[in-house]
Amino acid sequence: MTTQHRDLLTETGFEELSERQLATPFIRQAVPKATDHTVAAMGALFADHDREALRDRGAAIRDEVIADLETHLVDLVAACEAKGVVVHRATDAAHAREIVRGIVRAADARTVVKSKSMMSEEIELNPALEADGVKVVETDLGEYVVQVSGDRPSHIIAPVIHLPREKVRESLSAVAGEQLPPEAEALTAWAREELRGSFLAAEVGITGVNFGVAETGTLVLVTNEGNARMTTSLPRVHVALMGIERVLPRMEDLAVMLPLLTGHGTGQQISCYVTMIDGPRREDEPDGPEEQHLVLIDNGRSALARSEYADILRCIRCGACQNICPVYRQVGGHAYGWVYGGPIGAVLTPLLRGDEDGGELAQASSLCAACDDICPVKIPLHELLVKLRRRRAEGDSAPRVEKIAFALWSRAWSVPWVYRLSGPLGRLTLLPLARGGRVRRAPRPLARWTSGRSLPLPARRPFHRR
């Protein structure tokens, strides 16, 4: 039922994926409409507040963690263990999957309920658990629709932003075995009832973690639906999956990070449910899991923390850069081929998966830097994109023809007389193709370049002769 993400990026690539998305009119209509709504709500929320100062504080808190990640992790682990949490550390995705499979097997679980987790997508957990014969149920409404329709999430906060309501109705009706009413209210109510049974039956609940507080060992989960709280309250075992960078030093940092996350993610003042977990159920408490696990997942992050790309680890997964990105708004999240779409995906995917698979994504940007301006923790996303473009150009994964062409060009223009000659020569070559001073349809290999724009003829008299 769960689709593998991995192959799409390597086998198909951004160019073809984005063309497919562009051919789907709903995406170009619905995505900008939905994301505009969130951006406007954010603007209204911060109208009477100093958003810049809050972002500065958020960035400083995140930088403090990244600069000394291991120390903060050691503190978090100690604080969690003191509260009775079993802490596991996973080096990569396969290791993390093995740890979770082990916990689920030991719990003798037949049903696992899950609350939306990007980390779970990143380590591709569901297929691994399903292969063990476990029934895995996503409980975030959007993720549930994704799961039952064999689709993939296309936005960090709004996983089915790419689906029209009629499609959602079709998918849910297929599960219900009857035609459900078309209204969003009725579909949500049906899913609530359907998923209630899974919540009550599941032996294990799996969630992500929005923040882990090193000072107290508190795991923070933010949702509007209440599913993370259900997932961490009803099943006998709770497994929390956390990227190692999602640590905050102190409890008081939440007063900065929560409004940044919620304000930029959905434009709300606060999400309906902020669930803070401090270990398993205690003796004097009426309910809650008997076992509490925390799986800290590295998967390339500790190396990133030491690299020139460390700023990307500030990310708190709010989705704001997706909402504002002119490329994402046209092509949607699926074009990026893996878990993370938009500017965050264009940076994170090549970093986590390498240029061979993801390097192309760094080109999927106009470098307009709207993402830098909206990012709640001031990640210089467009600078990171430029760095990644340079890395790819210097590495082995860029197309050979492209590299040779640019090398020749660079050589040629370093020689003054060749440079002087290139203008008139270029003009002469392109003249037969031009209409009204512009080339609108060039032959290969320039054909793709002119498919979306026109090329002006080089001037009759170049600047250096004026």
Partner 1 sequence: MTRRLDAPTELAPGADPLAAFAAGVTRSAAGVGRVAARDVAGAVMDVLGRHGARSVALSADLGPHLDAVAAACRDAGLDAERYDAIAADRARIGALDATVTGCTAAIAATGSVVLGAGAGRAAGLIAPLHVCVVRAEQVLGGLSDLFADPGRFASSSLTALQTGPSRSADIEKTLVIGAHGPCAVEVLLVEATA
Q: How many CB atoms lie within 10 A of CB 60?
A: 14
Among 2-10, 254-262, 395-403, 412-420, the segment contacting partner 1 (CB under 8 A): 254-262
Residue 139 makes contact with partner 1 by CB under 8 A: yes
Residue 215 makes contact with partner 1 by CB under 8 A: yes
What mask of x and - would describe binding to partner 1 in positions 409 to 428, judged by CB under 8 A? --------------------
Residue 290 makes contact with partner 1 by CB under 8 A: no
Q: Which of 92, 252, 290, 396 binds partner 1 (CB under 8 A)?
A: 252
Cβ-based nearer residue to partner 1, 51 or 382: 51
Segment 220-239, which members bind partner 1 (CB under 8 A)?
A: 224-227, 229-230, 232-234
Q: What residue spans of 132-278 are helical by DSSP H?
A: 141-148, 165-176, 184-201, 227-233, 254-265
User: What's the CA gap between 318 and 265, in Å, rounded?
Assistant: 4
Residue 319 makes contact with partner 1 by CB under 8 A: no
Residue 347 makes contact with partner 1 by CB under 8 A: no
Cβ-based nearer residue to partner 1, 24 or 422: 24
Residue 205 makes contact with partner 1 by CB under 8 A: no
3-state secondary structure at position 441: coil
Cβ-based nearer residue to partner 1, 217 or 359: 217
User: What's the CA gap between 328 and 447, in Å, rounded?
Assistant: 24
User: What's the CA gap between 165 and 188, in Å, rounded?
Assistant: 11
User: What's the CA gap between 364 and 343, in Å, rounded?
Assistant: 8
CA angle 223, 191, 116 (to 5 degrees): 30
User: What's the CA gap between 437 and 242, in Å, rounded?
Assistant: 57
Query: With CB under 8 A, what is the number of residues at the site for partner 1?
Result: 76
Segment 60-99, which members bind partner 1 (CB under 8 A)?
A: 83
Residue 189 makes contact with partner 1 by CB under 8 A: yes
Cβ-based nearer residue to partner 1, 16 or 36: 36
* CA neighbor of 39 nearest in space, from 31, 49, 29: 31
Q: Which of 14, 199, 211, 309 binds partner 1 (CB under 8 A)?
A: 199
Residue 171 makes contact with partner 1 by CB under 8 A: no
Residue 109 makes contact with partner 1 by CB under 8 A: no
Residue 341 makes contact with partner 1 by CB under 8 A: no
Residue 174 makes contact with partner 1 by CB under 8 A: no
Q: Report how far apart the first and last C-alpha atoms of the chain are (Å, whole number).
A: 66
Q: Which of 205, 263, 265, 300 binds partner 1 (CB under 8 A)?
A: 263
Residue 54 makes contact with partner 1 by CB under 8 A: yes
Cα torsion for 111, 116, 119, 124, to the nearest 10°? Answer: 50
3-state secondary structure at position 207: strand
Smallest separation (angstroms) from partner 1 to the CB of 290: 11
Which 3-state string (H, E, C) describes 262-323? HHHHCCCCCCCEEEEECCCCCCCCCCCCCEEEEEEECCCHHHHHCCCCHHHHHCCCCCHHHH
Q: Which of 43, 102, 150, 164 binds partner 1 (CB under 8 A)?
A: 164
